[in-house]
Structure 1
C-alpha cells in the first residue's frame, strides 16, 4: 500500500515548520523544544540528497538535532534552553545546547539557501524540480 502525502519528507517539513511559524506568530507561547527538534529532524534527509560532499555537515547536523531532542525531555522551550545556558555561563562552550541550537540554525540556513539557489538557477528545468517533489 502506497504511503500518503503526509508520509513524504517535504510534506512533513512543510507542515512542521508551518506549525512552528504559527506558534511564533501567535506570540501566545514559546516554541517547544520537542516540536522544534522534531521539525529539524525531518530536514535531515535533504542533506543526504546533497551527496558525499555534505556528509560531514549531515553528521554534525543530525548530532546537534539529536542533542536537542534529548534535551527536550527535561527542557520545555527554546527560550528555556538559552536561559539555562546563560545562567550556567556555558553558551559558548562546545556541546552546550545553545551552541547546538546555533549549529542547527546554520544547517537549516545552508539547506534553505542551497535550495533557493537551485530553484533560481536558469539551467534548472521544471521537470527536474517536479522529479524532486515526487521523490519526496
Structure 2
C-alpha cells in the first residue's frame, strides 16, 4: 500500500474514537450508528497496511462497516439496531446488522490489543504483537485453515518502522495516538458487549 501522503490515519482514528468514548462515558445518550460507522471506517486502512496476514480481516471488516453505514440511514442508535433485529427474529442470522456489529467490534478490539502489544514490545518486529492480537480476538472464531493461513502471513508483516511510514507517523506521535485509541476504544467495546449481554444474547457467535 502506498504512503498516505499528508493523511494522518492514526490522528483521525484517535479523534473519532474520543468523540464516541465521550458519548459512552456521559451515559446520557445512546451511541449513534452514523458516527460509529464513520469512526470504524477510519480503521480500514490500518488493516490494509498489515498486509496478507490480515487480508481476510480487511475484506470482512470493510464489508461489515459498509453494512452499518447503510443501516445508519434508517436506524438511529446501536441499541435500536439490536432491537430491530430482535423484533424481526434475525439477530443471529448471517448478514444481520447485529451480527455485523459484533464482527466490527472484534476488529476494533484486535487493533486495540495490537497497539497495546506494539507499545509494550521492544524491537522492530510486528510478529509477536500481531500474533497475540489475532490469537486473543479472531483465532477462537476461525477454523484450522484460516488460522494456518494467518500464521503463514505473519512472516510477511511490515516492520514497525514500515508500518509507521505507511501511516505517515513518527514513533513519538504514533505512540500518543495509539495510547489515545487504546483508552477510548475500551469503554466503547465494553458498551457494545453490554448491549448484547444485557439481552442475554452472548458475544461469541
**Does the 8 A contact of 1:34 with 1:72 survive in 2?**
yes
Residue in structure 2 matched with residue 73 of structure 1 by the alignment: 73
**Structure 1: gaps spanning 5 or more residues:** none
Runs of 4+ in 1 over 6 A off after TM superposition: none
Alpha-carbon distance, 1:120 to partner:
1.1
RMSD over aligned Cα, in angstroms? 2.1
Corresponding residue number in structure 2 for 1:135: 168
Deviation at 1:112, TM superposition (A): 1.5
2:12 equivalent to 1:12: yes
* Higher relative contact order, structure no. (Cα contacts within 8 Å, ≥ 6 residues apart): 2
CA distance in 1 between counterparts of 2:112 and 2:87 reads: 32
Deviations 1:15-40 (A, max 9, x none): 11000011111111111100000000
- Matches of 2:19 and 2:65, distance apart in 1: 18
d(CA) in 2 for partners of 1:112 and 1:25?
Answer: 18
Instruction: Give TM-score, length-normalised by structure 2.
Output: 0.59
1:124 offset after TM fit, Å?
4.0
Query: In 2, Cα distance between the equivalents of 1:21 and 1:114?
Result: 19
Number of equivalent positions: 130
**Contiguous gaps of at least 5 residues in structure 2:** 126-159, 170-205
| Alpha-carbon shift at residue 123 of structure 1 (Å) | 2.1
In structure 2, distance between residues paired with 1:114 and 1:9: 16
Q: Which residue of 2 aligns with 1:56?
A: 56
**Rounded Cα–Cα distance in structure 2 between residues aligned with 1:92 and 1:76:** 20
The Cα shift of 1:88 comes to 1.1
**So what's the TM-score if we normalise by structure 1?**
0.87
